[in-house]
Structure 1
């Protein structure tokens, strides 16, 4: 389904290829929409696309990746194709991202920072259940910031 959605938004989209450029572009996009740059800790992204007219963004990686956010003790799985509609401080209709809660994987469909509390980022699933965490838990680690500055 993600592949079909990507195909339908490909016209007039900014599309980038190559791991180095893609990493820079998706981090720039997160910064542009005021979400923490460490929200998507991906290493092998080979394509990033952004259709500004519709707000649709996609990332393609070589393989699925799991990442543990130690600050909040949470493991997140990122599929090989991740899609979302973005706007300021929000990613809607997210696909390809799951969080492990106890022994179950929970689909994440919305990620946002509410205007009433800019220090918290909220993750919601399709049924409307949500959980909030400190934004600081998703900031780039010191070594990632140094790497970004060197590029």
Structure 2
């Protein structure tokens, strides 16, 4: 059974804790709900909350059984992470399998590497104090940045 919610005001959407208690996949709709809940989910897994700064989100979801997370937005977007000095492209649908401090089998995320867009396949927080985050492309390119470069405030 899927959980669906359509927020009519910024105070009417459920907390992450209440969503995690639901049976089956959790499915939410709209920016008002999906933006804060997806950031909350990332942070609960030890990842920076600003890692996926998507816009005009139509749907987001999480299947606790498989670890699949997905976010669908109206159109492809780009975001420049100033502190990392990187331009990132997000497709209409971004998917990944989550585990503690890691997103694996990522799809729908590309970063500009020289003149080429490189698809990101794996994102992991590393270091004894979670101070760095490593992005690895499917082609084997790996880059490490300060985790703070992807906080909600960036």
Same fold by TM (over 0.5)? yes
How far the C-alpha of 1:59 sits from its partner, in A, is 0.2
Structure 1, 90-99 or 22-31: larger mean CA deviation: 22-31
Q: Which residues of structure 2 form unaligned runs of 5+?
A: 1-22
Could you tell me which residue of structure 2 aligns to residue 107 of structure 1?
119
C-alpha separation in 2, matches of 1:43 and 1:65: 7
Equivalent positions of 1:37-116 (< 5 A) are 37-116=49-128
Runs of 4+ in 1 over 4 A off after TM superposition: none
Aligned length: 132
Q: TM-score, normalised by structure 2?
A: 0.81
Q: Which residue of 2 aligns with 1:148?
A: none
Quote how far apart the aligned CAs of 1:128 are.
2.7
Q: Does 1:28 align with 2:40?
A: yes
Residue 7 (structure 1) aligns with = none
TM-score (structure 1 length as normaliser) = 0.83
SS at match of 2:126: coil
1:14 aligns with 2:26: yes
For the aligned residue pairs, the C-alpha RMSD in angstroms reads 1.5
Q: Does 1:133 pair with 2:145?
A: yes
Q: Which runs of 5+ in 1 are unaligned?
A: 1-10, 143-151
